[in-house]
Amino acid sequence: MPELPEVETVRRGLTQLVEGSTIKTVDVLYAKMINLPPDDFKEALRGKRIEKIDRRGKYLFIRLSGHLTIVSHLRMEGKYDVEPEGSPIDKHTHIIFHLTDGRQLRYNDTRKFGRMNLVDTGTEMQVAGLKTIGPEPTEKDLTVEYMKRIFAKSRKVIKPFLLDQSNIAGLGNIYADEVLWLSKINPKQPVNTISLAKIKVLRKNIIDELARAIAGHGTTVHSYSTAYGEAGQFQNHLNVYGREGEPCPRCGTKIVKIKLAQRGTHFCPKCQRLRGVKK
DNA sequence: CTACTTGTTGGTAT
DNA sequence: AATACCAACAAGTA
């Protein structure tokens, strides 16, 4: 399940592999994946050069000649693979970009949740999900002032608040649990009850954890791999996610798993006490 | 067969 | 208005 670090890893892999390549033709094997009628999608992409790959949150922007951008969201299990012509088509391959050099860029997605929107470059922020996207989790964009402001004005509990991409871009279920553990904050803590000191700790952990995950090429929880086919390394670093019943790496207490906002939520009941609110 | 998982949107209920 | 909850999407696993 790609979160920001995995998407960034894919961006880097695609940049190395297909930046500068030219699309010859496109096959659409699953039409619901795209925002245009397949014939329009194919026709618009014919002969376009892949100029650059950008990223915003979990969204990839494939910049093409002709002032076009493919906005690609991998959702749960989307992947890009580069294959030579003639290599067998996987049953979960949904879009094939035939390149003029004979290689193929293939979009694979077991659950068909991923989406591609072909839009005019400059209008990509009008794609659903990007209109309201929050700041990137970086030192520069995710300021203390911003965090302080959004935390003060909401009574939502922190875990679903972190998953809401309009607050901060890029956190998914794994890293949300991880940064809360790192910051010793209970997933059910209402955000307006979190002290400024804790907000600063959380901010630093979000920025640092995602940077570390990018450095480790993302995480492998299900079937994630980079565009090179190499597995991510980061799963070795997860402290609470997927570790229900195992000892907390900090205090040894058993990690608990609960359901919060319909999502599996892992935390240490001792390190991450709920502060000053009744349950 | 059921329940559960994931990210995101969109609708309804409180 | 803000929040909470649910369904939908799709397919795999237990």
- Give the CATH number of domain A144-267; options: 2.30.30.30, 1.10.8.50, 1.10.486.10, 3.40.630.30: 1.10.8.50
CATH 3.20.190.10 domain extents, chain A: 4-126
User: Could you confirm whether A263 is annotated as catalytic?
Assistant: yes
CATH 1.10.8.50 domain extents, chain A: 144-267
| Nearest alpha-carbon partner for A172 in A164, A183, A184 | A164
| Nearest alpha-carbon partner for A191 in A149, A143, A156, A147 | A156
**CATH (residue range A4-126):** 3.20.190.10
Q: Residue A13 corresponds to which tokens in the numbers above?
A: 């892999």
pLDDT value for A132: 87
Are A177 and A240 contacting, i.e. CB atoms less than 8 angstroms apart? yes
- Residue A237, annotated as binding a ligand: no
Whole-number distance in Å between A243 CA and B14 C1': 35
| Nearest alpha-carbon partner for A159 in A169, A173, A140 | A173
pLDDT value for A75: 86
Are A3 and A222 contacting, i.e. CB atoms less than 8 angstroms apart? no
Please state whether strand C lies within 7 Å of residue A157 at its CB atom: yes
Whole-number distance in Å between A261 CA and C7 C1': 14
At a 7 A CB cut-off, the residues bordering strand B are A 1, 3, 57-58, 73, 75-76, 111, 113, 128-129, 163, 165, 172-174, 259, 262-264
Q: Which of A58, A63, A184, A203 is catalytic?
A: A58
Mean pLDDT, rounded, of chain A: 88
pLDDT value for A70: 94
Q: pLDDT of A58-81, one tens digit each?
A: 999 999 999 999 999 998 888 899
Count other C-beta atoms under 10 Å from residue A265's C-beta. 21
Q: Residue A207 corresponds to which tokens in the numbers above?
A: 């920025």
Print pLDDT tens along chain A (279 aa): 688 888 999 999 999 999 999 999 999 999 888 999 999 999 999 999 999 999 999 999 999 999 999 999 998 888 899 999 888 888 889 999 999 999 999 999 888 888 999 999 999 988 888 888 999 999 999 999 999 999 998 989 999 999 999 999 999 898 899 999 999 999 999 999 999 999 999 999 999 999 988 887 765 433 333 443 344 444 456 889 888 888 999 999 999 988 888 888 999 999 999 987 755
Q: pLDDT of A147-159, one tens digit each?
A: 999 999 898 999 9
User: Could you confirm whether A2 is annotated as catalytic?
Assistant: yes
pLDDT value for A220: 42
Helix residue spans in chain A (DSSP H):
4-18, 38-45, 144-152, 158-163, 173-182, 196-215
Helix (H) and strand (E) counts for chain A? 6, 10
Q: pLDDT of A194-229, one tens digit each?
A: 999 999 999 999 999 999 888 877 654 333 334 433
